């Protein structure tokens, strides 16, 4: 039927807010169902059900939990891996940011907020009930072939292989077999954790995201088979901006204390850096949609002239995120390196 790329602000707002008129082309999302149905690959009543479960789990209280867990994880990094070093060199930012993301996900699963900086108790950081630390994790539980940390790291690092390579071909190479094993191991870990948690008292006020997600799931009266958990290089390139950020943080935290969740509104420059990085390097570059009926869009071209575009029923609409973010009408700066504050 064809494909139409959309980078117009008003058109994208209309598409996003009119879910019934512009549903997802679910056939393009099937590769994301390797752990079962989830909010990304669903529409209609099924999407509403998943949204209800997820929305109730991610509350303001849990936002605070993620903040505190992230602070704890970074303190552990400073006090173990980087302790005593005058200079730290990171060859590739992903080598640092990927483990941080992993540990945040894990620590938000089951986290003790009482961090004592000296001495460091690395056992306070757990991944959904499994020990995850900056230090090497070599103890493989009975019945498993990988540690939880290795399984999660491999699935995150080699997700594209799982998405692109069919199941029958996953045994062709050593790397493919490693990825297949990691996904199988991760699914086994998650299933075990779900069964363990479901045997305990779960409420939406549970102390971690994992338990609150399961508690919300329980309220949906799902069938047994359905109950699964489905769901700085930039600043370093510009030392002047890095120094401005550093000075801003020192003004907000003049006593050098550890920032709390309540400090977040005051850390405006930090938020601006994050937002600018997301604008320049969005993690999701294309969002596929489809048109459920014949319609039209009113768009504005580069000269500021409005015109009407016909959108036939059944056409694929691709929301082009980088094109939107680099639209001069939205981000008029001539420099791609500017930090918008």
Pick the last residue of a domain from 229, 257, 279: 229
Please report whether residue 200 resides in a domain: yes
* CATH value at residue 327: 1.10.630.10
Please report whether residue 128 resides in a domain: yes
Q: What is the pLDDT of residue 313?
A: 92
Question: Which tens digits make up the pLDDT trace of 114-155?
Answer: 444 433 343 444 445 455 667 666 678 888 998 887 888 888
In the sheet where 3-6 sits, what is the strand order? 3-6, 316-320, 286-290
Q: Nearest Cα to 189, choosing from 252, 233, 130?
A: 130
Percent of the chain with pLDDT over 90: 20
Banded model confidence at residue 271, pLDDT cuts 50, 70, 90: very high
pTM above 0.75, yes or no: no
Q: Nearest Cα to 207, choosing from 52, 68, 65?
A: 65
Rounded mean pLDDT of 45-67?
Answer: 80
Question: Which tens digits make up the pLDDT trace of 233-244?
Answer: 566 667 888 889
Q: What is the pLDDT of residue 173?
A: 92
Q: Are residues 144 and 242 in the same domain?
A: no
> How many domains is the chain partitioned into structurally?
2
Q: What is the mean pLDDT of the chain?
A: 77
d(Cα 244, Cα 240) in Å, to the nearest integer? 6
Q: What is the pLDDT of residue 193?
A: 75
Please report whether residue 43 resides in a domain: no
Higher pLDDT, 322 or 190: 322
d(Cα 96, Cα 98) in Å, to the nearest integer? 6
Maximum pairwise Cα distance, the chain:
66
- Note down the domain range covering 333: 1-33+232-341
End-to-end CA distance of the chain: 42
Q: Are residues 194 and 243 in the same domain?
A: no
Please report whether residue 40 resides in a domain: no
Q: Are residues 4 and 147 in the same domain?
A: no
Q: What is the pLDDT of residue 128?
A: 54
Rounded mean pLDDT of 285-313?
Answer: 88
Q: Are residues 160 and 225 in the same domain?
A: yes
Question: Is pLDDT above 60 for 315?
Answer: yes
Please report whether residue 152 resides in a domain: yes
Pick the last residue of a domain from 178, 209, 229: 229
Q: Are residues 76 and 101 in the same domain?
A: yes
Residue for token pair 């990825």: 179
3-state helix, strand, coil in the chain (%, to 5): 50, 10, 40
Q: What is the pLDDT of residue 333?
A: 60
Q: What is the pLDDT of residue 93?
A: 76
The total number of residues written for the chain in this structure = 341
Going by the DSSP 8-state scheme, the letter that residue 78 receives in this structure is I
Q: What is the pLDDT of residue 127?
A: 44
Q: Are residues 208 and 243 in the same domain?
A: no
Percent of the chain with pLDDT over 70: 74
Q: Are residues 249 and 338 in the same domain?
A: yes
Please report whether residue 39 resides in a domain: no
Q: Are residues 20 and 78 in the same domain?
A: no
Higher pLDDT, 217 or 270: 270
Six token digits for residue 105: 């996900």
Question: Is pLDDT above 60 for 84?
Answer: yes
Please report whether residue 265 resides in a domain: yes
Please report whether residue 47 resides in a domain: no
Higher pLDDT, 224 or 295: 295
Pick the last residue of a domain from 229, 264, 279: 229
Q: What is the pLDDT of residue 205?
A: 52
Question: Which tens digits make up the pLDDT trace of 17-52?
Answer: 998 899 998 888 887 777 677 888 888 888 888 888
Six token digits for residue 242: 């890095």
Rounded mean pLDDT of 53-57?
Answer: 73
d(Cα 69, Cα 109) in Å, to the nearest integer? 10
Q: Are residues 198 and 312 in the same domain?
A: no
Question: Which tens digits make up the pLDDT trace of 208-234?
Answer: 556 666 665 555 444 444 444 333 556
Q: What is the pLDDT of residue 41?
A: 84
Q: Are residues 221 and 237 in the same domain?
A: no
d(Cα 211, Cα 200) in Å, to the nearest integer? 10
Question: Is pLDDT above 70 for 328?
Answer: yes
Question: Is pLDDT above 90 for 68?
Answer: no
Q: What is the pLDDT of residue 124?
A: 43
Q: What is the pLDDT of residue 212?
A: 60
Q: Are residues 97 and 29 in the same domain?
A: no
Q: What is the pLDDT of residue 319?
A: 94
Per-residue exposure over 90-129, b if at least 16 CB sit within 10 Å of its own CB, e if not: eeeeeebeebeebbbbbbbbbbbeebeeeebeeebbbbbb
Q: What is the pLDDT of residue 261?
A: 92
Q: What are phi and psi of 131, to 5 degrees?
A: -65, 125
Q: What is the pLDDT of residue 186?
A: 84
Q: Are residues 64 and 212 in the same domain?
A: yes
d(Cα 246, Cα 8) in Å, to the nearest integer? 36
């Amino acid at each position: 039927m064809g494909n139409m790329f959309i980078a117009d602000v008003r058109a994208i707002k209309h598409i996003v807010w009119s879910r019934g008129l512009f549903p997802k082309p679910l056939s393009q999302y099937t590769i994301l169902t390797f752990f079962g149905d989830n909010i990304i690959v669903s529409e209609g009543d099924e999407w509403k059900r998943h949204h209800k479960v997820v929305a109730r789990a991610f509350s303001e209280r849990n936002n605070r939990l993620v903040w505190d867990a992230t602070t704890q994880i970074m303190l552990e990094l400073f006090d173990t891996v980087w302790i005593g070093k005058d200079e730290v060199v990171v060859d590739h930012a992903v080598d640092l940011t990927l483990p941080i993301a992993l540990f945040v996900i894990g620590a938000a699963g089951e986290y003790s907020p009482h961090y004592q900086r000296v001495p460091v108790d690395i056992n306070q950081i757990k991944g959904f009930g499994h020990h995850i630390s900056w230090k090497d994790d070599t103890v493989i539980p009975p019945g498993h072939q990988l540690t939880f940390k290795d399984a999660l790291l491999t699935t995150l690092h080699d997700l594209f292989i799982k998405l692109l390579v069919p199941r029958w071909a996953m045994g062709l190479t050593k790397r493919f077999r490693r990825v297949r094993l990691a996904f199988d191991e991760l699914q086994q870990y998650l299933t075990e954790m779900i069964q363990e948690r479901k045997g305990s008292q779960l409420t939406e006020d549970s102390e971690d995201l994992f338990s609150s997600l399961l508690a919300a799931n329980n309220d949906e009266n799902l069938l047994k088979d359905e109950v699964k958990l489905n769901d700085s290089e930039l600043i370093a390139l510009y030392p002047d901006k890095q120094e401005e950020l550093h000075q801003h943080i020192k003004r907000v935290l003049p006593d050098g204390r550890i920032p709390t969740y309540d400090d977040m509104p005051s850390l405006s420059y930090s938020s601006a850096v994050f937002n600018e990085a997301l604008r320049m390097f969005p993690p999701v570059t294309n969002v596929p949609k489809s048109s459920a009926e014949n319609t039209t869009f009113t768009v504005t071209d580069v000269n500021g002239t409005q015109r009407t575009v016909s959108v036939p029923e059944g056409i694929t609409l691709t929301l082009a995120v980088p094109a939107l973010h680099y639209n001069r009408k939205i981000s008029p700066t001539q420099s791609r390196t500017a930090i918008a504050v």
